[in-house]
Amino acid sequence: MQTKDILGEGQKGDMTPMIDVVFLLLVFFMVTTSLIKEEADLGIKLPTNTQGAPTSELPSKHIIDILPDGSALLNGGPVGNQGDVVLTGLINTLKRLKASADRMNKKTIILIQADPISPHYKSVQILDACAAAELKFVSFSNL
């Protein structure tokens, strides 16, 4: 069957309904596309690269004072009892200081300041405590 038989001799096909459908499809896709974009934006705020709060760093240089009566002070605070042969309190404190300095990739420096009339055995005990805490940078200085 030919087109002339269906439409007749003088009739042409009406394109208006087809154009209406095309425009309706065009409007439909435009509306749905804009809705999909709105749904994709969830409004989540991602974290940015900001600096954290400044931390108070421990000093890497610690001073141990030996007083004339034989007592020891670490950074101005008393350490252990005066009669202790093994300074376990000092050893534990030095180990903690070394561990915190190691976490920050810093060297722990111990500076021993002994009074000229302090007992010499106390200097040896403090050196033994530094060795027990595995500290490598230990030195003496004047008061």
**CATH assignment, 61-141:** 3.30.420
The pTM for the full model equals: 0.56
Quick: pLDDT tens for 75-88: 888 887 666 667 78
CA separation, residue 45 to residues 34, 41, 42, 48 (Å):
22, 11, 9, 9
Q: Contact, 45 vs 93, CB < 8 A?
A: no
pLDDT over 60 at 129, yes or no: yes
Of the chain, the percentage scoring pLDDT greater than 90 comes to 7
DSSP secondary structure of 13-56: ---HHHHHHHHHHHHHHHHHHHHHHHHH-----PPP----PPPP
Quick: pLDDT tens for 43-92: 777 777 777 666 666 567 888 898 888 888 888 888 876 666 677 888 88
